Amino acid sequence: MLRRLAAVVAGEAIALLARFLTAPRAIWSGVAPEAGQRVYFANHTSHGDFVLLWTVLPPALRAATRPVAAADYWLQSGLRRFIGRDVFDAVLIDRRPEMRTEDPVAQMVAALDAGASLMLFPEGRRNDGTAPLLPLKSGLFHLASARPGIDLVPVWIGNLDKVLPRGRMVPLPLACTVTFGAPIRLAAGEARDAFLARARAALLAIAEVQT
């Protein structure tokens, strides 16, 4: 009971800090912020990505949405475990195939079947390069194949890489945007590469509007 209360308080504090540092603006350009199970898939440039995405969701959606995050990062210390597991109820995926005891797609499907929405970063790692978006990993396709009736909402997180770039310990306050595009679904018979190209194009289309 006390641990759950501490997690709720910590979550509110993290959201407040995120708003203070980034003054985030949610832009619902292709979908409305209404109830319904979804998979939000976004670009990945900072460890703060899912925090900011989670922060701008309306409270009812926030309560039903779980981030998909790297277990090897969020289980490194007691504080990270508390934030990852208790505060955000993250679906923790081991990025090391040789160490896995669970199938990552099965973990995500189980979370969907339990009624959660998900936040997913299909590049698979932080993009520290000059390209706007890395190639998307196949997990998004396999998830869409397993549950084709769930809307996949592309999300572009703008400017957060400048707030907390790799190696920086103290955040730099800057305004950020989180733009939600029109949902997509896997088409009947659509091949993996074609679907991933379409999903990637949906993200890049949002990025182009922002620039």
Mean pLDDT by 10 residues, the chain (211 residues): 87 91 92 94 89 94 93 87 92 82 92 97 85 93 96 94 72 89 96 97 89 56
Longest CA–CA span in the chain (Å) reads: 49
pLDDT of res. 160: 85
Which own/partner pairs from 194-197 qualify as long-range (CB within 8 Å, at least 24 positions apart)? 195/140, 195/141, 195/144, 196/122, 196/135, 196/136, 196/138, 196/140, 196/141
pLDDT of res. 129: 76
Tokens 């709720």 map to which residue?
A: 8
The hierarchical CATH code for the domain 2-210 is 3.40.1130.10
pLDDT of res. 156: 96
CA distance 71 to 149: 28
Q: Tell me the CA distances in angstroms from 95 to 13, 23, 112, 123, 180, one per residue in order.
A: 29, 32, 20, 12, 27
CA distance 41 to 204: 12
pLDDT of res. 172: 80
Q: Can you give the residue ranges of every domain in the chain?
A: 2-210
pLDDT of res. 90: 94
CA distance 100 to 93: 8
pTM: 0.92
**Minimal CA–CA distance to 10: which of 74, 89, 96?**
89
